Amino acid sequence: MTAQRRPELAVLAALTLSLLTALGAEAATKTRTVIVLPYATGDLGRQEQWIGEGIAQVLTLGLVQMPALIQIDRERLKRLSRSDAWDDQAALAAARTVGADVAVYGEVRRAGADLSIVPRCVELRGERSERIALDPVVVADRTLMERLRGLPVAYARALKITLSESESARVQKWASPTTSQRAFEAFVRGQEAAYRGGQEGNDMAVELLGKAIEIDPQFVVAQYTLGAVHQNLGNRWKAAAQFRASTQLDPAYPEPYKALGDFFLTAPQRPFDQAIEAYGKALEIRPFFADAHVGLGDAKAAKGDVDGAVVAYQKALGFNPLNAKVHVSLGKLYYSEKGLYYESVQAYKKAIDLDGSFLDARMGLAEVYEDKGLYQEAIGEYRKVVEADSKNTGALYNLALVYEKVDAKESISLWERYIALAGPLPSEKDWVDVAKLHLRKLRNQQDKGH
């Protein structure tokens, strides 16, 4: 770990106090966590099955505009038992599993020439739950995009969330990101492919999202999403180009600015000022964008501005007290800035408690254990990451490195596995070269031992 400027004890005290203040202030604010589930489509033909996921995409884009709702990442659904139809019972179980206050779901039925969208949600209050049925939405032929735009607003009314006229307009704008149903279908199928992950899924997502953009070049959400998929594939510059393209198409969309901030924050040249500027633009558009506040805090911490990082993390927790990313950032700050091992470990464990599928938290915890010489503990956390994501090259690399200190034979096996996995990836070339050196050294030592 790279040591940075160490804060004074007063700054550290201010950090703890301000974060507790943020949590206390949030307790007085009525916010709810929500998980958005794909609509059931058992009544539809194969060619129309995508509509169930399409409604979930519309709701995700619309509800994120409401500060009263904190969306739980759809990625966490991967850890749930697969449900082909999110009915009342499955939705309630999903909400309890991920710790959501509200689950949004429903079904789509064929009614002659028309579609009937039947929206539902379930709200949890401790051990009790309340199911809410909204008015069905009838969709005539070629009116799907028009009819979907009002759905997030209908949910807001059902959940007793008050929206101003301008807020309602913004929600409906993003709930209808394109006027072309063909472009939207390609986008939805691309998202489904991206959710499957892996090289094949991401390659298919690139093809489908490219098709969506070809049909509607003004489809800003598709432009941004294509950038996110390129990022998953390790194509950093293609990703950045897509993020920039989406900001030019619509400067009022904050997600690509946040993504550019992440890009600058992790760039080898370390252009932290550009990262801060990008996060700032995202927050000008959506002041309650908690992840952008986290990114801003990370960028300021990287520059040595601990006070500025404190303020950003405080705001992130104020808007989303369940944001595991804040606690991961705190874990890094505690350890790298002050060498506070116990506080760092507790921050990482808090992040894991909030979101057990957040692998960055386990990676951070493992790195602290490794740095302190607690190799078995580090191995345990790295292994959990690899078990959850067998293609996580970072965890596999670190695991091989730690095993060099405790079991050379196992380390050789892990280096071979890492090289086979990462060898074809251009983004891993330098790391693969280093891994080959480690592997050669261990084999030489093994040969001499015999």
Q: Rounded to whole angstroms, how far apart are CA atoms 111 and 338?
A: 64
The separation between CA 347 and the C-alpha centre of its own chain, rounded to angstroms, equals 19
Give phi and psi for 2, each to the nearest 5: -90, 125
**pLDDT score at 8:** 43
CA within 13 Å, CB half, 310: 18
Reported as a pLDDT band with limits 50, 70 and 90, residue 385 is: very high
Reported as a pLDDT band with limits 50, 70 and 90, residue 18 is: low
- Does the pLDDT value for residue 13 go beyond 90? no
Look at the alpha carbons of 20, 329, 260, 68 in this order and tell me if their dihedral is positive or negative. negative
Q: What does the CA dihedral 310, 321, 384, 198 come to, rounded to 10 degrees?
A: -100
DSSP per position, 274-313: HHHHHHHHHHHH-TT-HHHHHHHHHHHHHTT-HHHHHHHH
Q: Kindly report the CA angle at 117 between 192 and 189, in degrees rounded to 5?
A: 15
Plot region of 444 (φ>0 → left; ψ -120 to 50 → alpha; else → beta): alpha
Q: Give the domain ranges of the chain.
A: 9-26+303-449
Q: Compute the average pLDDT of residues 376-400.
A: 93
Where does 9-26+303-449 sit in CATH, by number?
1.25.40.10
The mean of the pLDDT values for the chain is: 89
Q: Rounded to whole angstroms, how far apart are CA atoms 139 and 112?
A: 11
Report the SS3 class of residue 121: strand
Beta carbons within 10 angstroms of residue 76's beta carbon: 18
**pLDDT score at 30:** 74
Burial group, residue 241, by CB count within 10 angstroms (0-12, 13-18, 19+): middle
Q: What is the pLDDT of residues 209-268, one digit of tens each?
A: 999 999 999 999 999 999 999 999 989 999 999 999 999 999 999 999 999 999 999 888
Instruction: Assign 3-state DSSP to the chain and report helix, strand, coil percentages, each to 5.
Output: 65, 10, 25
- Does the pLDDT value for residue 118 go beyond 70? yes
